[in-house]
Every structure is written in structure tokens, then in C-alpha cells.
Amino acid sequence: MSYIMASSKNDEIENLSLLEKMSEHEQVVFCNDPSTNLQAIIAIHSTKLGPAIGGCRMQPYESFDEALEDVLRLSKGMSYKCAAADLDFGGGKAVIIGDPLTDKSPELFRAFGQFVESLNGRFYTGTDMGTTLADFVHAMKETNCIAGIPEEYGGGGDSSIPTTESVIYGLKATNKMLFGHESLQPVTYAIQGLGKVGFKIAERLLQEGASIYVTDINKDSIEAIQAKAAQTSEGTVTVVETNEIYTVPADIFVPCAMGGVINDTTIEQFQFKAVVGAANNQLLEERHGIELTKRGILYAPDYIVNAGGLIQVADELYGPSKERVLLKTKEIYNTILEVYKQSELNEISTVEAADQLCEKVMSNREKRNSFFNRTVSPKWKIRH
């Protein structure tokens, strides 16, 4: 483990800003294991509603600050995501600094698992961008606090399937709001990122006969979706360069790769009527959500619309049940419509409406939480 130490005036200023960034969080753990080249950060935003839960992202961050910034934003988002999806968990997230294509090894994920285990049940984790179920099979050898594990190991399996489902519910609710019907077909979509989630969304939209624009830095994914399109009779796919996806004449932008893609530069290029996607932290800053509303672009807050995966991984800790997961995931349709309704009614952005909804849930639930009633043992003593 490494610790930040101030060694000069400049360092002190640097470290202060790092500390400021961390101040909303309960705990931030820096994981350093030279023998496996593991450098990771685990951020626990809140355990007020239960143990923190959130996936682990692997990315070749350009700086430590960039990785820290990412994990802090992501873990805070998880607290809101848990509240919106009505789960007894808090927000946490992890990032591994490294290239998922070249820097993975079983030992690295075992070392990561040991750090997770050291948190003694305060943090459950699993896949995210750049990591797969196979990676966590190694981590599972060191800790029980892995969620979203393969079915053959008694888990719920690939969480990108319910995440896709939840985004589809978000799209249906948005179409209902925009066009007065839920149908996916007569609408055009611009999908950024054809990974675990984006590819499945693209596939589903093509099956429904929709027209999609797609982009990805990975040529294999592009070829794979073109092959799928060739098999469908109605759906069409148009491939564009990565920087062109913001400008295409689609009805709905579906970001399914990195965060921060809604910013001053991209908003100016949008012709979209709505943004509904899986990517975490789509807004560079909260004010960009307000800007979307001002411009009449309907924004489905990411942490509500992409909660399907979280619902499955959290549910799995009580024993996997696909039916339960589907029931809870379906609720996202109503939650999104409620957010749109509150945004209209109170003349606020959809981000503000969603945040208010979650903050209300958090404060109400905190008061009732059995964790604070010492006569009841914590209900989330899971799998130990």
C-alpha cells in the first residue's frame, strides 16, 4: 500500500487538492503491489445503506490524478445508482491502472483480490470497462467479495446482459416521452462503443429493425456488427469515425464507452433529441446536464438507465434469480418516466430531478436502516 506524503510546498498544494477531491468519500485505498505491477485505487463513497458495491475498471490512465478523479466520480455515482434502484448497498468503485490488452495476468487480479479482501466486507466488486468475468475468477481465489461471477461458479453471469436490458427500457421510456410510443424501430440511434454493453444494444436495435450509426476504436467490433446487420432484413448500420458520432443525424445518442462525452464541445455538435446510454459519468460536469435540458435534449441520467448490471450483481449476493433481476430492472422504465415528469413539473433538468429523487431515498432509508438498530444483525452479511 502506498501513502501520499507532502515533501515540498508544491507537493502540499497538490496533495491538498487530492484530499479535497476525496473529502466526500468514506475511504480511498491505494493498492500497490510491485511483484505483479498492480497499481489500483479503491474508492468507497458511502456504506450508509450497506456495503459499497461497484465494478473495477482497467484503463491505461495517463496520470495518477486522472485515475483518482475517475474512481472518485464513479464511486459517488454508484451511491446514487444504488438508491435509484432501491438496493441495500452503498457506492464504491475500483480502477486498475494498466492496459487491459497487455497488462493483465492472473497474479495481478489475485493481488487485487487480496486488497479487496483486506476491506473485510466493506466493498464488493466485479467487471467494468476493460475487465471481464475471467479476470475475477482469479480475484475470487483471494476474496468472497466478488459480485457478478460466472454462472458455473454459482453467480448470475454476465452483468452486461441486464445492463443492456435496462438501457433498452430507458430507450423505450424516452421514445414514449418523445414520440408517444415505446417502439424502438422507427427511431435512429448513434451508438458510441461496441463493447460488452454497446454491442448487445446495437444487436437488439438491429433485430427490432432500427437504423443505427456506430463507432468503436476496435475494428473487430465494427466488423462483427456489420456481419449482424447483414443477417437482418430491416435494420441498417452506418459506421462512422470516432469523432463523427457526435454529429450524425440520429434521434438518440447512446454513449456506451468512456465518460465525459457530454461536454461544451460535443453539445454544440448534437442534433440529437435525447441521450440514453450505458456509459458511466457521461456528463463532464453536472452543468452539462442542465445545458442539455435548456436545449430541449432529453437526458436519461446514466446512473438510472444503466443500473441493470448493478441490480444483477447485488441480487446475486442473496443467491442468483433471473426473475427477480428482470422484475427490478423493468422498474427502470417507470423511474425514468418519473424523472422526466418531475423535470417538467418543477422546471429543472433531468439530472437535478434524478439527484433529488435519490437523495430523498438515501435520507429516508438511512433513518430506517437496520444497520443503526443494534438489536438486528446486518442483513447484508452475505456469502461469509
Ligand X SMILES: O=C(O)CCC(=O)C(=O)O
Ligand Y SMILES: NC(=O)C1=CN([C@@H]2O[C@H](COP(=O)(O)OP(=O)(O)OC[C@H]3O[C@@H](n4cnc5c(N)ncnc54)[C@H](O)[C@@H]3O)[C@@H](O)[C@H]2O)C=CC1
Binding of residue 159 to ligand X (CB under 6 A): yes
Instruction: Kindly tell me which residue out of 90, 91, 121, 126 binds ligand X, with binding defined by CB under 6 A.
Output: 126
Residue ranges with strand state E in the chain: 27-33, 38-44, 52-53, 56-59, 90-97, 123-124, 188-192, 211-215, 236-239, 252-255, 274-275, 298-299
Burial group, residue 116, by CB count within 10 angstroms (0-12, 13-18, 19+): buried
Judge whether 193 is annotated as a binding position. yes
Q: Per this entry, what is the length of the chain? A: 384
Farthest CA pair distance, the chain: 66
Binding of residue 258 to ligand Y (CB under 6 A): yes
Nearest CB to ligand Y, comparing residues 44 and 190: 190
Report in angstroms how near the CB of residue 196 gets to ligand X at its nearest. Answer: 9
C-alpha cell at 193: 462503443
Judge whether 154 is annotated as a binding position. no
Binding of residue 128 to ligand X (CB under 6 A): yes
Instruction: Kindly tell me which residue out of 40, 146, 256, 336 binds ligand Y, with binding defined by CB under 6 A.
Output: 256
**Beta-strand pair 27-33/38-44:** antiparallel
Binding of residue 148 to ligand X (CB under 6 A): yes
Cβ within 8 Å of residue 53, ≥6 positions away = 78, 82, 87, 89, 90, 91, 92, 123, 124, 125, 147, 310, 313, 314
Report in angstroms how near the CB of residue 359 gets to ligand Y at its nearest. Answer: 21
H-state helical runs in 232-272:
264-269
**Beta-strand pair 90-97/38-44:** antiparallel
- Name the catalytic one among 81, 93, 172, 273: 93
Report in angstroms how near the CB of residue 309 gets to ligand X at its nearest. Answer: 3
Instruction: Kindly tell me which residue out of 4, 101, 217, 327 binds ligand Y, with binding defined by CB under 6 A.
Output: 217
93 labelled catalytic: yes
Judge whether 239 is annotated as a binding position. no
Site for ligand X in 72-91 (CB under 6 A): 81
User: Which one of ligand Y, ligand X, none interacts with residue 196, CB within 5 to 8 A by kind?
Assistant: ligand Y
CA separation for the pair 240, 248 (Å, rounded): 9
Q: Which residue's C-beta sits nearest to ligand X?
A: 309
CA separation for the pair 76, 98 (Å, rounded): 22
Nearest CB to ligand X, comparing residues 82 and 250: 82
User: Which one of ligand X, ligand Y, none interacts with residue 126, CB within 5 to 8 A by kind?
Assistant: ligand X
Site for ligand X in 312-331 (CB under 6 A): 313
Nearest CB to ligand Y, comparing residues 20 and 220: 220
Report in angstroms how near the CB of residue 125 gets to ligand X at its nearest. Answer: 8
CA separation for the pair 127, 73 (Å, rounded): 17
Q: What's 38's DSSP letter?
A: E
Q: What count of other Cβ atoms lies within 10 Å of the Cβ of residue 134?
A: 12
CA separation for the pair 303, 308 (Å, rounded): 10
User: Which one of ligand X, ligand Y, none interacts with residue 129, CB within 5 to 8 A by kind?
Assistant: ligand Y
* Ramachandran category for residue 40: left, alpha or beta (phi over 0 → left; psi -120 to 50 → alpha): beta
Percentages of the chain per state (helix, strand, coil), in multiples of 5 = 45, 15, 40
Site for ligand Y in 168-207 (CB under 6 A): 192-198
Q: Segment near ligand X (CB under 6 A), from 21-29, 31-39, 138-146, 308-316?
A: 308-316
Q: What's 154's DSSP letter?
A: T
User: Which one of ligand X, ligand Y, none interacts with residue 242, CB within 5 to 8 A by kind?
Assistant: ligand Y
Q: Segment near ligand X (CB under 6 A), from 106-114, 244-252, 304-312, 359-367?
A: 304-312
Instruction: Kindly tell me which residue out of 51, 92, 98, 130 binds ligand Y, with binding defined by CB under 6 A.
Output: 130
Binding site for ligand Y (CB under 6 A): 127-130, 159-160, 163, 192-198, 215-218, 221, 242, 256-258, 278-280, 306, 309
Binding site for ligand X (CB under 6 A): 54-55, 81, 126-128, 148, 159, 163, 280, 306, 309-310, 313
Residue numbers belonging to the annotated binding site: 193-198
**Residues with a known catalytic role:** 93
